[in-house]
Amino acid sequence: MHAFSRPFPGSSPRPFPGSSPRPSRRSLLALAATAPLTVAPLAATPAAAASDVVVGGARLVADGVQVDGGGALPRKLTARAWLLADQDSGEVLAAYRAHLRVAPASTLKMLFADTLLGRFERTERYAVTEADLAGIPSGSSLVGVRAGVTYTVEQLWQGVFLRSGNDAVQVLARMNGGVAKTVAEMQARAVDLQALDTRVVSPDGYDHDGQLSSAYDLALFARHGLRDADFRAYCGTRAARFPAGNGKTFRIENTDRLLSGTYGVTPYPGLIGVKNGFTSNAGNTFTGAATRAGRTLVVTVLHPKSGHNAVYEETAALLDWGFVQGSSARAVGTLVEALSEGGTRAAGSSAGKTPHAGAQASSAEGGGPDGWGVLGGAAGAVALLTGGTYALRRRRRRTGEAPPAS
Nearest to 135 by CA among 376, 349, 369, 379: 369
Q: What is the DSSP letter of 87?
A: T
Q: Which residue has better confidence, 87 or 366?
A: 87
Residue 351's pLDDT is 39
Residue 280's pLDDT is 85
Instruction: Indicate whether 40 belongs to any domain.
Output: yes
* Residue 346 banded pLDDT, cuts 50, 70, 90: confident
- Could you give the CA distance from residue 346 to residue 298 in angstroms, rounded to a whole number? 21
* Residue 14 banded pLDDT, cuts 50, 70, 90: very low
* Residue 348 banded pLDDT, cuts 50, 70, 90: low
- Could you give the CA distance from residue 383 to residue 242 in angstroms, rounded to a whole number? 34
Weakest mean pLDDT among 18-22, 101-105, 292-296: 18-22
Instruction: Indicate whether 406 belongs to any domain.
Output: no
What are 114-168's pLDDT values in tens digits? Answer: 999 999 999 999 999 999 999 898 889 999 999 999 999 999 999 999 999 999 9
Taking residues 186-199, what's their average pLDDT? 98
Query: With pLDDT > 70 as the criterion, what percentage of the chain qualifies?
Result: 72
Taking residues 80-104, what's their average pLDDT? 97
What are 381-403's pLDDT values in tens digits? Answer: 333 444 434 444 444 444 443 33
Residue 354's pLDDT is 41
What are 279-319's pLDDT values in tens digits? Answer: 988 899 999 999 999 999 999 999 999 777 999 999 999 99
* HSE (side-chain half, CA atoms, 13 Å) at 241: 5
Instruction: Specify whether the CB–CB gap between 338 and 194 falls below 8 A.
Output: yes
Residue 191's pLDDT is 98
What is the average pLDDT value for the chain, to the nearest integer? 79
* Residue 250 banded pLDDT, cuts 50, 70, 90: very high
Greatest mean pLDDT among 43-47, 194-198, 376-380:
194-198
For residue 271, the cross-strand partners are 290
Instruction: Indicate whether 331 belongs to any domain.
Output: yes
Instruction: Give every CB contact of residue 66 below 8 A, 6+ residues apart in sequence.
Output: 59, 60, 92, 94, 95, 96, 98, 332, 333
Residue 54's pLDDT is 85
Instruction: Indicate whether 200 belongs to any domain.
Output: yes
If 0-12 CB within 10 Å is exposed, 13-18 middle and 19+ buried, where does residue 267 land? Answer: middle
If 0-12 CB within 10 Å is exposed, 13-18 middle and 19+ buried, where does residue 25 land? Answer: middle
The backbone torsions φ and ψ at residue 126, rounded to the nearest 5 degrees and listed phi first, read: -140, 130
pLDDT at 325 over 60: yes
- Could you give the CA distance from residue 167 to residue 134 in angstroms, rounded to a whole number? 9
Q: Which residue has better confidence, 395 or 210?
A: 210
Assess whether the previous peptide bond of 274 is cis (omega < 30° from 0).
yes
**Side chain identity at residue 72, one-letter code:** A
Weakest mean pLDDT among 11-20, 47-56, 186-195, 223-232: 11-20
Q: What is the DSSP letter of 212?
A: B
Residue 288's pLDDT is 98
Residue 326's pLDDT is 86
- Could you give the CA distance from residue 331 to residue 92 in angstroms, rounded to a whole number? 5
Residue 335 CB coordination number (10 Å) = 25
Residue 358's pLDDT is 40
- Which CA distances in Å does 30 have to 20, 33, 181, 350, 353? 19, 5, 21, 18, 19
- Could you give the CA distance from residue 155 to residue 168 in angstroms, rounded to a whole number? 9
Instruction: Indicate whether 9 belongs to any domain.
Output: no
- Could you give the CA distance from residue 239 to residue 260 in angstroms, rounded to a whole number? 9
Residue 159's pLDDT is 98
Phi-psi region of 348 (alpha: psi -120 to 50; beta: other; left: phi over 0): left
Q: Which residue has better confidence, 80 or 21?
A: 80
pLDDT at 323 over 80: yes
Counted domains in the chain: 1
Instruction: Specify whether the CB–CB gap between 183 and 375 falls below 8 A.
Output: yes
Helix and strand totals (H; E) in the chain? 11, 11
pLDDT at 261 over 60: yes
pLDDT at 365 over 70: no
Q: How many residues does the chain have?
A: 406
Taking residues 2-10, what's their average pLDDT? 31
Residues spanned by the domain of 40: 25-399
Q: Give catalytic residues, as residue numbers.
A: 106, 109, 164
Residue 49's pLDDT is 37
Instruction: Indicate whether 143 belongs to any domain.
Output: yes
- Could you give the CA distance from residue 244 to residue 146 in angstroms, rounded to a whole number? 8
pTM of the model: 0.78
- Could you give the CA distance from residue 78 to residue 40 in angstroms, rounded to a whole number? 39
Nearest to 273 by CA among 317, 231, 319: 231
Instruction: Indicate whether 19 belongs to any domain.
Output: no
Nearest to 140 by CA among 93, 207, 92, 192: 207
CATH number at residue 129: 3.40.710.10
Instruction: Indicate whether 41 belongs to any domain.
Output: yes
Residue 52's pLDDT is 56
Q: Which residue has better confidence, 22 or 165?
A: 165
If 0-12 CB within 10 Å is exposed, 13-18 middle and 19+ buried, where does residue 364 land? Answer: middle
